[in-house]
Structure 1
Amino acid sequence: MKNDPGRRSAQSDPTSSPPDRKRKRPDKQAPAQDSSKQQTLHFSNSKRLKPDQPARPSTPPKKLARNEMYTFSSRSPAANGNGVIDLTNGTPPSSPQARRVNGAFKGRSGINPHTGAKKLVVKNLKTNTDWDSKAYLEKIWGQLDAALVVILKDGQDGFSKEDLYRGVENVCRQGGASTLFSRLENRCRQHVERDVREPVLEKSSSDNIAVLKAVLAEWARWKEQMTTIRAIFFFLDRSYLLSSSKPTLAELTPQLFRETVFSHSALKPKIIDGACDLVTADRTQQQKLDPSLFQQAVDMFHELQTYTATFEPRFLGVTQQYVDEWSERMIGEKSVPEYVALAEDFISKEMARCEQFALDASTRRDLLALLEDHLVARKEADLTDYEALASVLDNNAMSDLTALYALLNRRRLGSKLRPAFVKWVDETGTSIVFSKDEDSMIIHLLSLKRRLDLTWRTAFQRDEALGHGLRETFETFMNKTKKGDATWGTDNTKVGEMIAKYVDQLLRGGARAIPEVLTMRRSSSITAPPKAVALPTAAEAEENNEDDDMDEDTEINIQLDQVLDLFRFVHGKAVFEAFYKKDLARRLLMGRSASADAERSMLARLKTECGAGFTQNLEQMFKDVELAREEMQSYKQRLEDRVGFEKGRNVDLSVNILSAAAWPSYPDIPVVIPANIKRSIDDFELHYKSKHSGRKLDWKHALAHCQMKANFGKGSKELVVSSFQAVVLLLFNGMGIDEKVPYAHILSESGLPEAEVKRTLQSLACAKLRPLTKHPKGKDINTTDTFSINTSFEHPKYRVKINQVQLKETKEENKETHIRVAEDRNFECQAAIVRIMKARKTIAHSELVAETIKSTISRGVLALSDIKKNIDRLIEKDYMEREDGNMYAYVA
């Protein structure tokens, strides 16, 4: 019908669409619809109609055209009785024309627009087709099945992939995708069960590796076949399988193989064990691992999605069993350093294998945890055993210590070395402290300390627990005391005395007095323990330093810092103070310090470490030397200005005025002073008393030294000797070459005690430098010996030092110092007890002992028995009294 601009239709204009055209391709044709079905459309009568709309033709043609398909009857809805307008009726009704009457629509035939929606029935006008999709599917499947037979036999000829692909596409478009996939799946499953699994099952009785190889070969063949099949069925995969719950062809490939071949009870264990056997053979070095075969196995496990569920647990289980047996065997057969090296190599190889074959991160993590647990954690007791660690420390095997700590620290067990390490340090240090070789004690302690510090920094990676253990152990064994001949039956620590003597050696000899094992110039001084220490004497060091212009301040300062590290561990600093004070006095009085800067540097270190009270007397000693120098300048100026100065009294006298409180006490030793020396001494005493009234001078001739000229057969020399040596040598003035002086004559003329005479003669006739000759020859001085001038005495230098006897400490002096320090410590202990009692008034015995030790620890620790003796002495002196309950009360 014609379009009316005033009429509205419920659907698009049918005249605007072209007539139906039949599709040429059968796969594009839609399936035939049932012509008996009707479609119902609903229209609303609420739309306005124009009253002048023309009527439709009364008689339709025999076959309706598209533009005449829909007609409306002029009958009212009530005519059919059900309000349905049949558009297929052959007699088209005339279209109603609505008029607006009094504001409402009313058609010519009396149609009321407000009666509700009308029901429109449209019958299907499309004709049925003769196309049979089922027959087409069977035809295409026949072609596909024939091609599958060729493909599954590894063939590539006899079919066209393009034609097969188009056939699959047509079938899918006609709704046969589900049927096509079912047939394909069944066909592939039959192939895998019959042609893939059966040949492998025939080899199941072979070894695991042979079965693994057969399965890998079939898996590679199956993947290649499915690659071709996927290309043919690509449209099925993309258009149907992706949007359905069924597996895609990429998923079907491993699924069929996994369910049919891999999961078979006779094959699955052998496949997994075959891969594990490859690794085990490589571990035991029975057969080198085939990288390609193992990599194919790992890739297959990943592709079949069985890696985590099957291979990984079995691989870890086999590894655990092997590592457990291997570690037990190795720890029993090998030493700890050898076991550590083998364990580290084993772990590195296992991790390298994981990296090489790209095993999962979970496998690497669990494998590493397993290895560390069996190789480290379960062998903790063996790795931290004292005997094992002591052997490594004795050999100073730094690389072995580093490897041992690194292996233990994989499980944060490095600090577990502390008990064995501390025990070794304590035993080694104690053996050094109580060794009979006292002269090299500090050398060994310094070498041990440097070596252990290096071990802690490098091998033990600055482990905090081991560092604390090292310092605490040094403090323990260095303060161990033992009453014996070395300390003259006192509780004094020998370490304090030897530290003071080593510092004296450094300050007298300079850098040349430092043993080679401790010098910074020697690269091996840190790593090599001193087995045989050759110590240069102070005299040799002094002689070498006379012509040595090398800047030695840095070397000496380094050594002083190291000595101070040991000094910090010492509790009994009173022993060090006493011996250091005595040695400092000798160096200052005899001018034997190698460096004044080094002397003051050491004094500053002691002041920083121990406080000003510790160094008060030492500083006063330096001040006395400076004041004495000024006093001598004043005296010499007076001599030069004196009128009538006698030529025979021009002895170059040098005197040191010392304050008795600051300096050590020295005994008065009788000696016959030569007349000219006596006159000079008396003259200086008059000069001093004229300036300082009320002061008394006590002359300590044992500390004096002088320079005298001597003529020998090979030339004249200037000898630096002590005052006692000078008195003895003067007895040989004017004597002939062959004349001999008996021992008794020297004893009577010198006025010295017999012990000093023997000591002096031994230094002149039995030492390295011998201006006198002893008859008969020997090391000991006897009363029957005689002495003469050594006419063959020679020395490359004009000025020769022979007075080393003054610098050597006698046994009597050493005993006196130790006993005095012990007595002073007893007095300090009693003073500490009185202070504590005065503050507490009443206190228990245990508390008093603890407070006393805490108060006196910086000066030295007394034994509990000595503290009890001091308490008893104070009770006898009525400073305190005992009360019930093991209590003490202070007596005001």
Structure 2
Amino acid sequence: MDRKIIDLEQGWDYMVQGITKLKKILEGSPEPNFSSEEYIMLYTTIYNMCTQKPPNDYSQQLYDKFKDALDDYIKSTVLPSIKEKHDEFMLRELVQRWANHKVMVRWLSRFFHYLNRFFVARCSLPTLNAVGLTRFRDLVYMDIRAHARDAVISLIDREREGEQIDRSLLKNVLDIFVEIGMGQMDYYEQDFETQMLNHTATYYKSKATNWIEDHSCPDYMLKAEDCLRRERDRVSQYLHSSTEQKLVEKVQHELLVSLANQLLEKEHSGCRALLRDDKVEDLSRMYGLYHKISKGLEPVADIFKEHITAEGTSLVQHAEEAAINQPSNGSGIQEQVFFRKFIDLHYKYMAYVNDCFKNHNLFHKALKEAFEIFCNKKVAGSSSAELFATFYDNILKKGGSEKLSDEAIEETLEKAVKLLEYISDKDVFAEFYRKKLARRLLFDRSANEDHERSILTKLKQQCGGQFTSKMEGMVTDLTLARESQISFEEYLNNNPHVNLGIDLTVSVLTTGFWPSYKSFDLNLPSEMVRCVEVFKGFYESKTSHRKLLWIYSLGICTIVGRFEQKTIELIVSTYQAAALLLFNTADRLSYSEIMIQLNLSHEDLVRLLHSLSCAKYKILVKESNTKTISQNDTFVFNSKFTDRMRRIKIPLPPVEERKKVIEDVEKDRRHAIDAAIVRIMKSRKVLGLQQLVMECVEQLGRMFKPDIKAIKKRIEDLITRDYLERDEDNSNIFKYLA
């Protein structure tokens, strides 16, 4: 049976009844909801009109009328109701009308579902839902978007000024800006976000101008921190999440970037003042505000560096003044106080880097560069490398000026080693340290061997194994020397016919580990000669691969001085002992006689005789009354000498080591530069002068900063020794000769 044809007007009149009822429901009229029968009849009407055979298939006409029905409702009811209201009331009406519109589109889409499912899909037309959103956008949104945006921005301003606003209203309005884009953010960004961000910039620029004048740096930062927190909160409450980064950057720029110099340089409360007054919390806040800004921390780090440099330079100046006003008495107390202040300064600002600035590389770099500036300045003629070595020596030797517990020593060494990173001439430090370590070990002045090994471990971690290899060898040498001494004592006990007559302790050391010492053929007293021969025989029986070289300048002797009033034990050097023993067989000896009998140089003999006749303990009497030693002097044993102590140590005048150390270092540097150049050229074969110099500086920079002229001089030397040759066409290009 054929279905009855429904013509367009008849069918649409019926649909209009349903649409009218839907409008009344949306407008709040006391209209009952759609019953199932009504819904089915409306759906069936559309179905029938779309499935009739042509020319009675009204799919296209119904699609158009769907749009017309929406347009009619929007123009007659929706738009006028929105435009008659203003500000917040207009926003509320807009939100309500948008909600109603979506309901209307949803219900109509159900009525027209068959049309949507088949006709729209077949003809590739926009869906009914898309048509509904588009009509609202074109007829309502495009008309009132500017008013809505301005009203929203006005409410945001009121909230920024402390008023309570309806955040849910703003959330709903801004959702319209997002939803109108149907998956794209163009409308939200162009119609709202851009203007809102520009307005935000203007707002905070005005605020910042007032705050920077009226508030201290810490108070200003509190305000900026609070503003940023509130803006992020706005995003979480009603702005779209994509706005957060842009909004935060706008606020940061106006509050922090534009006025950065003015804020950080505030005279009594800026970054320098915060560092000066140890305002840790405020510095942490400053870092928190600026670290998220591109290059925002750079001016803070620059001020940090300048501040540390100023403090460190001031320490150096005070140390210089103290050295001039109170010349050192030999104990090195001034140097120790100065270096302790260096350690405290480093510990303090390293804590700032770790805690306030969250270990940021920029502040590590600033700290390093600042310490490199003043840590390499000379103090009272002494390089920082020498002062470092002296500081360690005072801590590690017996009777040093620093009286510390074992735990305090370990802590101090740990802090002090970190400063070594900033010393440019680490090789100079190594040589001074090695000299002082040798004296501690050889003369039994080391307070604790565990501490000696501990500091070497720390130095090794800081500077590498090559830096400490010789020093570690020295410590090991002493252990082996003690074992050798035990073997020697067992040898003497097992050979009773070998009677030395005196106690002899010999330390056998490895030449390559220890600093170089002058070795003279001192004419030893007969008692000592026999000891040397016995030990030599013992040692040669144990090994035939090593040759003994006796360094008498390092020897220590305890001899008994029998004076008229009492007997006193004298602790002297081997040279001093040899000189004093000459007076066992002679009452008076001239300078020249002593020189001939001992076979000493003039320089060493002057030091020796000065220590015995002109210093604190006058064991010998010089017949002339002068305070200096001359070659015409004659010396007599002072039998009337006495002292309240029964055991005294007679030191030799100190030798100026600094010049010798620098000479040794310069010699080692020449070898190091030669080795670096050859190593580079061996791998590169051909290289230009500038690049060769740069690579050489880079390789050697860990131990010292080589002088460019010195590198060029070594290059010339290597050319003469046929390691390198110049290119025939370009004299600044070098070739490696295999």
TM-score normalized with structure 1 length: 0.48
- Residues 1:794 and 2:670 aligned together: no
Shift of residue 791 of structure 1? 4.9
1:76 aligns to what? none
Contact 1:340 1:404 in 2 (8 A): no
Superposed CA offset, 1:173-206 (max 9, x none):
xxxxxxxxxxxxxxxxxxxxxxxxxxxxxxxxxx
Pick from 277, 287, 297 the counterpart of residue 397 of structure 1. Answer: 277
Contact 2:218 2:282 in 1 (8 A): yes
The residue type paired with residue 793 of structure 1 is D
2:396 aligns to what? 507
Identity percentage of aligned residues: 27
Superposed CA offset, 1:96-117 (max 9, x none):
xxxxxxxxxxxxxxxxxxxxxx
Shift of residue 398 of structure 1? 1.1
Q: Secondary structure at the match of 1:398?
A: coil
Contact 1:618 1:662 in 2 (8 A): yes
- Residues 1:677 and 2:525 aligned together: no
User: Aligned runs of 1:375-390 on 2, under 5 Å?
Assistant: 379-385=259-265
- Residues 1:577 and 2:421 aligned together: no
The residue type paired with residue 604 of structure 1 is T
Shift of residue 418 of structure 1? 0.9
- Residues 1:636 and 2:489 aligned together: yes
Contact 1:398 1:459 in 2 (8 A): no
Contact 1:670 1:751 in 2 (8 A): yes
Q: Which runs of 5+ in 2 are unaligned?
A: 1-157, 170-200, 229-236, 324-333
1:839 aligns to what? 683
- Residues 1:889 and 2:735 aligned together: yes
Superposed CA offset, 1:234-265 (max 9, x none):
xxxxxxxxxxxxxxxxxxxxxxxxxxxxxxxx
Shift of residue 861 of structure 1? 2.6
1:858 aligns to what? 702
- Residues 1:877 and 2:721 aligned together: yes
Q: Secondary structure at the match of 1:676?
A: helix
The residue type paired with residue 454 of structure 1 is A
2:456 aligns to what? 603
TM-score normalized with structure 2 length: 0.56
Shift of residue 651 of structure 1? 0.6
The residue type paired with residue 889 of structure 1 is K
Q: Closer, same or farther in 2 for the Cα pair 1:867/1:674, shift >3 Å?
A: same
Q: Secondary structure at the match of 1:666?
A: coil
Q: Secondary structure at the match of 2:558?
A: strand
- Within 2, Cα distance between the matches of 1:596 and 1:847? 46
Q: Closer, same or farther in 2 for the Cα pair 1:712/1:732, shift >3 Å?
A: same
Contact 1:853 1:862 in 2 (8 A): yes
Greater gyration radius: 1
Superposed CA offset, 1:653-699 (max 9, x none):
11122232332221124545333223322332233334444754322
Q: Closer, same or farther in 2 for the Cα pair 1:447/1:677, shift >3 Å?
A: same
Q: Closer, same or farther in 2 for the Cα pair 1:408/1:631, shift >3 Å?
A: closer
The residue type paired with residue 668 of structure 1 is S
Q: Closer, same or farther in 2 for the Cα pair 1:340/1:610, shift >3 Å?
A: closer
- Residues 1:703 and 2:554 aligned together: yes
Shift of residue 766 of structure 1? 7.3
User: Aligned runs of 1:682-697 on 2, under 5 Å?
Assistant: 682-693=533-544, 696-697=547-548
Q: Closer, same or farther in 2 for the Cα pair 1:734/1:869, shift >3 Å?
A: closer
- Within 1, Cα distance between the matches of 2:562 and 2:272? 61
- Within 1, Cα distance between the matches of 2:504 and 2:447? 23
- Residues 1:445 and 2:342 aligned together: yes
Q: Secondary structure at the match of 2:397?
A: helix
- Within 1, Cα distance between the matches of 2:275 and 2:286? 19
1:328 aligns to what? 213
Q: Closer, same or farther in 2 for the Cα pair 1:650/1:470, shift >3 Å?
A: same
2:475 aligns to what? 622
The residue type paired with residue 579 of structure 1 is F
- If each structure's helix is expressed as a fraction of its own residues, which one has the higher value? 2
Superposed CA offset, 1:473-499 (max 9, x none):
445665x689x9969xxxxxx444433
Contact 2:689 2:734 in 1 (8 A): yes
- Within 1, Cα distance between the matches of 2:461 and 2:202? 63
Contact 1:429 1:474 in 2 (8 A): yes
Q: Which runs of 5+ in 1 are unaligned?
A: 1-275, 281-294, 306-315, 331-338, 352-359, 488-493, 514-535
1:124 aligns to what? none
Q: Closer, same or farther in 2 for the Cα pair 1:457/1:694, shift >3 Å?
A: closer
- Within 2, Cα distance between the matches of 1:395 and 1:791? 62
Shift of residue 862 of structure 1? 1.0
User: Aligned runs of 1:490-569 on 2, under 5 Å?
Assistant: 494-509=383-398, 513=400, 536=401, 552=406, 554-569=407-422
User: Aligned runs of 1:272-311 on 2, under 5 Å?
Assistant: none
Shift of residue 821 of structure 1? 1.9
Pick from 749, 756, 765 the counterpart of residue 604 of structure 2. Answer: 756
1:814 aligns to what? 658
- Within 2, Cα distance between the matches of 1:424 and 1:755? 49
Q: Closer, same or farther in 2 for the Cα pair 1:466/1:350, shift >3 Å?
A: closer
Superposed CA offset, 1:743-776 (max 9, x none):
8887677654443344445656777x64659999
- Within 2, Cα distance between the matches of 1:415 and 1:443? 30
The residue type paired with residue 694 of structure 2 is A
- Within 2, Cα distance between the matches of 1:691 and 1:319? 88
The residue type paired with residue 689 of structure 2 is H
Pick from 514, 521, 530 the counterpart of residue 663 of structure 1. Answer: 514
Shift of residue 703 of structure 1? 0.2
Shift of residue 833 of structure 1? 1.7
- Within 1, Cα distance between the matches of 2:420 and 2:457? 14
Shift of residue 799 of structure 1? 5.2
The residue type paired with residue 604 of structure 2 is E
Contact 1:762 1:779 in 2 (8 A): no
- Within 1, Cα distance between the matches of 2:221 and 2:588? 78
- Within 2, Cα distance between the matches of 1:669 and 1:576? 28
| CA RMSD, 1 decimal | 5.5
Superposed CA offset, 1:47-88 (max 9, x none):
xxxxxxxxxxxxxxxxxxxxxxxxxxxxxxxxxxxxxxxxxx
Q: Secondary structure at the match of 1:582?
A: helix
Contact 2:274 2:282 in 1 (8 A): no
Superposed CA offset, 1:860-891 (max 9, x none):
23122211111222222232222235322223
Shift of residue 591 of structure 1? 1.8
Shift of residue 819 of structure 1? 1.9
Shift of residue 624 of structure 1? 3.3
1:467 aligns to what? 364
2:152 aligns to what? none
- Range with greater deviation from structure 2 (564-573 or 814-823): 564-573
- Range with greater deviation from structure 2 (368-377 or 454-463): 368-377
Q: Between Structure 1 and Structure 2, how many residues are aligned?
A: 520
Shift of residue 722 of structure 1? 2.3
Superposed CA offset, 1:105-153 (max 9, x none):
xxxxxxxxxxxxxxxxxxxxxxxxxxxxxxxxxxxxxxxxxxxxxxxxx
Q: Secondary structure at the match of 1:663?
A: coil
- Within 2, Cα distance between the matches of 1:394 and 1:746? 69
The residue type paired with residue 299 of structure 2 is K
Q: Closer, same or farther in 2 for the Cα pair 1:873/1:643, shift >3 Å?
A: closer
- Within 1, Cα distance between the matches of 2:409 and 2:203? 62
Shift of residue 406 of structure 1? 3.0
Q: Closer, same or farther in 2 for the Cα pair 1:481/1:831, shift >3 Å?
A: farther
Q: Closer, same or farther in 2 for the Cα pair 1:605/1:714, shift >3 Å?
A: farther
1:226 aligns to what? none
- Within 2, Cα distance between the matches of 1:596 and 1:670? 33
